[in-house]
Structure 1
Amino acid sequence: MKIFDAIAAMFTGWQASSRPEISNVSYSDAVMDAFGVSAAGTTVSATSAMRVSAVAACVAKISGAIVSMPIHEYSMDGGEIPAILPRSDLWYLLNEQPSPQFTAASMWEGASMSQLLRGDAFGLIKWRANGRPREILPLPWGCVSPIRTIAGGVRYYVNMPSHGISTWFEPSDILHFPGMGFDDTIMRSMSVIQFGARNAIGNALAMDEYSGKFFENGAHPSMILQSTGKMSPSQIADLQQAFARKYAGLRNAHAVPLVLTEGLTANQMNISAEDCQLLDARRFQVLDVARAFGVPGFMINESTGATSWGSGIESIGRAFVQYTLQTWLKKIEQELNRKLYPRNTGRFLEFHREALYEGDIGAQGAFYRLALGGPGAGDAFMTLNEVRRRQRLPPVDGGNELYRAPRDQPQPAPKGVE
């Protein structure tokens, strides 16, 4: 038996020594990127990113602005100036109720959030027998799989059991709103998180967790207990645990006085959030996230820095539309026009961007005075009834005439021309 025991011991020792030890495992950047791991070691996903207040504010600003703009249908009618068309069934789908389960505001908000946080947004067009759209059903990002065919085309597989849908669709039936850097090979786009905000959001999540731990300990991260005599390791561990149970955490902060015996003295390490540069770092991360989304800091209540976007609601609105929203609006408009008007019918859809500028009453008044013309303003380019229609007011008699300045009066020079 002793011989067998010796052999078994030798075998066990050989097996243990031959077993590889795994330590300090490192993964490639591609693997870390696939799992959404930031440089701070935190996993950044569409869900976790929205826990960062700066991300939630930027997404709310962009998606909210898109929701605020109506979509109008225009027709060229053989002329050079597009004419706005009366409200139709298509207008109702895009502005009021695209599907019985959704409002238009919910659909556009969801589409914008999906573009920003996931990279792509999708919608299913259900057609009438006459070729006009009957319904537009928003599709969750994870339910749609675009696939390249052997012939070079594209098909979309939609798996949404909640609506009884699990089948393939042709591109003409799917609205595909891309995000950033559309990849024609995989038919997917990158989100703002993937494109430039992953590390910024990861750092913000890490700092949120750190600050939570900082204040969880009663904002006293370290306390030195000094003894006049020597203590064994078990005594040190027991003292640490007893002190933590008694005084650590916000619930125990300043609850009972600290009493030390047996020659123990306590010395607090004065480390504050300012000393750790935590507050400055958090301010920087807010601006870093806003920079990635293209939203000025002051629009998400970060007012530590100056802005060069101008002053007043009109200037802010125009700059925000021009530098941030324009790209997202164009992607939506082009997809709507190429899918809903597959042939060149002279009609097109467009967001009414002017809706974002209507908050500044003074600017509106100055614009309308210039539009109506008059002494010192020259010829009009809008009639009184056109102005009243914009303000939701009924027309008046004689309000369809354009003002023309008398020809014998000198006309004002165009702005910027001496």
Structure 2
Amino acid sequence: MKFFDALVAMITGRQDSSRPEVSNVTYSDSVMDAFGVSSAGTTVSATTAMRVSAVAACVAKISGAIVNMPIHEYSLEDGDIPGRVARSDTWYLLNEQPSPNYTAASMWEGVSMAQLLRGDAFALIRRRMNGSVREILPLPWGAVSPMRTVGQGVRYYVNLPEHGISTWFDPADILHFPGLGFDDTTMRSMSAIQYGARSAIGNALAMDEYSGKFFEGGAHPSIILSTDKKMAPGQVKDMQEAFARRHSGLANAHRLPFILTEGFSAKEISLSAEDAQLLEARKFQVLDVARAFGVPGFMINESTGATSWGSGIESIGRAFVQYTLQTWLRKIEQELNRKLYPRNTRRFLEFYREALYEGDIAAQGEYFRSALGGPGAGDGHMSINEVRRIKRMAPIPGGDEVYRAPRDQPQPASKAAE
């Protein structure tokens, strides 16, 4: 009966006066973190975080850059100098269609977003009878449960009913792309949200909500109505409600004239958004979110202050690849190479990072001039046909030679004496 009474009290809201009322309950940081509650009191998850424009822009920049880089296959056939391999079935799976239901762009975008927002990304390797890969199926983050076995091995339980999958898989059949701070015990990683952006995103969500409520009342949330006459509490409440019905909200903004009678006067005491420094605080949160994701503010259209990343698309692109993308690319490359190739095959996969710099025609032209060599540039290290191949142009006769600058010939002794 005690349980039933407690249940009824909880549903109806009635409390037993003989029992002490519990208030001001506090929770530890670990409990708050487990439920994704930020310091601002807002719940931050992968879904709510993407409602913040700065988060969406950072994720789009990183995942978009990865999508735009093709993955090439190389072979170490001549010593340690890699040579690009002709397009194979593996190349097609990674660059065009990993699965009949997905394009490669969709898969890599999903992998990158899962790493940034969830902490880990997964894909199932489906093989033919001869062991070759026939399909790479992207897996939702929540459908995969990595677990350690008694012998310190790892197995992955995949529950994907829509694909008829509900079983255990060995690590060789699962591509596991980790995020930040991989934990060997739980076999999980932290997302950028958990690692350093939860408070920044929580503050941004709180300010978004505050801004919405600020302007919800027609940007006049605090007005004093005063009179020298005495009013009963009921009259005060009726006046407040009547004023709110007629003049608050965007639907009533500038619709009815503001008329006061009976000796009433009105005075606005609210501060504007600029005076309350709301806009400045929001700008700071944009930079704070960008800092956590490793994306410079100017790349997500936050132009406050100057950048030290250099000028021009080439400098920006190279710095972004070097300081932000490189870590994510290496994690993907290493997982692909160790799962798709047996050891000591002398083959490997690598993202073609130069694809991000091809938009800067001037910088690209300068690079090719230096690579081809010539008067004033010294020896070249690329042939004309190699450059044409990069630009997807047909080779030309005699275009395979690499320029070497003529060397000064020693002069005869008689010439030198003269």
So what's the TM-score if we normalise by structure 2? 0.93
TM superposition shift of 1:221? 1.4
User: Which residue in 2 is equivalent to 1:190?
Assistant: 190
Is the aligned partner of 1:24 residue 2:24?
yes
User: Which residue in 2 is equivalent to 1:370?
Assistant: 370
The Cα offsets for residues 165-192 of structure 1, whole Å up to 9 and x where unpaired, read as 1000000000000000000000000000
User: Which residue in 1 is equivalent to 2:383?
Assistant: 383
Kept in 1: contact 2:123–2:138 (CA 8 A): yes
User: Which residue in 1 is equivalent to 2:77?
Assistant: 77
Provide the secondary structure at the position in 2 that maps to 1:39: coil
User: Which residue in 2 is equivalent to 1:100?
Assistant: 100
| Runs (4+) off by over 4 Å | none
CA 1:272–1:389: 2 relative to 1, 3 Å: same
Q: Which amino acid aligns with 1:364?
A: Q
C-alpha separation in 2, matches of 1:386 and 1:78 = 18
C-alpha separation in 2, matches of 1:144 and 1:316 = 37
C-alpha separation in 1, matches of 2:238 and 2:17 = 36
Provide the secondary structure at the position in 2 that maps to 1:221: coil
C-alpha separation in 2, matches of 1:233 and 1:53 = 44
User: Which residue in 2 is equivalent to 1:249?
Assistant: 249
Mapping of 1:9-408 within 5 angstroms? 16-408=16-408
Kept in 1: contact 2:72–2:349 (CA 8 A): yes
User: Which residue in 2 is equivalent to 1:7?
Assistant: none
Q: Which amino acid aligns with 2:266?
A: A
TM superposition shift of 1:342? 2.9
TM superposition shift of 1:344? 1.5
Kept in 1: contact 2:123–2:136 (CA 8 A): yes
C-alpha separation in 2, matches of 1:129 and 1:35 = 44
Q: Which amino acid aligns with 2:181?
A: G
Q: Which amino acid aligns with 2:155?
A: R
User: Which residue in 1 is equivalent to 2:9?
Assistant: none
Q: Which amino acid aligns with 1:177?
A: F
Kept in 1: contact 2:71–2:351 (CA 8 A): yes
C-alpha separation in 1, matches of 2:256 and 2:404 = 84
C-alpha separation in 1, matches of 2:150 and 2:271 = 63
TM superposition shift of 1:63? 0.1
Kept in 2: contact 1:92–1:98 (CA 8 A): yes
Kept in 1: contact 2:223–2:270 (CA 8 A): no
Q: How many residues align?
A: 396
Larger mean Cα displacement after TM superposition, 270-279 or 132-141: 270-279
TM superposition shift of 1:69? 0.3
C-alpha separation in 2, matches of 1:269 and 1:384 = 73
TM superposition shift of 1:409? 7.6
Provide the secondary structure at the position in 1 that maps to 2:252: coil
Kept in 2: contact 1:221–1:271 (CA 8 A): no
Kept in 2: contact 1:117–1:192 (CA 8 A): yes
Provide the secondary structure at the position in 2 that maps to 1:246: helix
Which consecutive unaligned segments of at least 5 residues does structure 1 have?
Answer: 1-14, 411-418
The Cα offsets for residues 217-267 of structure 1, whole Å up to 9 and x where unpaired, read as 111110100021111111111111111011001111111111222221111
C-alpha separation in 2, matches of 1:112 and 1:321 = 14
C-alpha separation in 2, matches of 1:205 and 1:344 = 50
Q: Which amino acid aligns with 1:32?
A: M
Kept in 1: contact 2:120–2:141 (CA 8 A): yes
C-alpha separation in 2, matches of 1:404 and 1:265 = 89
C-alpha separation in 2, matches of 1:342 and 1:288 = 43
Larger mean Cα displacement after TM superposition, 363-372 or 15-24: 15-24
Which consecutive unaligned segments of at least 5 residues does structure 2 have?
Answer: 1-14, 411-418
Q: Which amino acid aligns with 2:143?
A: C
Kept in 2: contact 1:371–1:381 (CA 8 A): yes
Q: Which amino acid aligns with 1:124?
A: L
Provide the secondary structure at the position in 2 that maps to 1:77: strand
Q: Which amino acid aligns with 1:26?
A: T
Provide the secondary structure at the position in 1 that maps to 2:355: helix
Provide the secondary structure at the position in 2 that maps to 1:261: coil
The Cα offsets for residues 315-374 of structure 1, whole Å up to 9 and x where unpaired, read as 000000000000000000000001001321000000000101111111111111111111
Q: Which amino acid aligns with 1:400?
A: D
TM superposition shift of 1:20? 2.5
Provide the secondary structure at the position in 2 that maps to 1:320: helix
C-alpha separation in 1, matches of 2:18 and 2:183 = 46
Larger mean Cα displacement after TM superposition, 365-374 or 89-98: 365-374
C-alpha separation in 1, matches of 2:17 and 2:203 = 41
The Cα offsets for residues 373-402 of structure 1, whole Å up to 9 and x where unpaired, read as 111111110000000001111000000111
The Cα offsets for residues 250-296 of structure 1, whole Å up to 9 and x where unpaired, read as 11111111122222111111410011110000000000000000000
Provide the secondary structure at the position in 2 that maps to 1:251: helix
Kept in 1: contact 2:160–2:166 (CA 8 A): yes
Percent identity between the two aligned chains: 77
Kept in 2: contact 1:66–1:109 (CA 8 A): yes
C-alpha separation in 2, matches of 1:216 and 1:66 = 40
User: Which residue in 2 is equivalent to 1:416?
Assistant: none
C-alpha separation in 2, matches of 1:155 and 1:16 = 51
User: Which residue in 1 is equivalent to 2:413?
Assistant: none
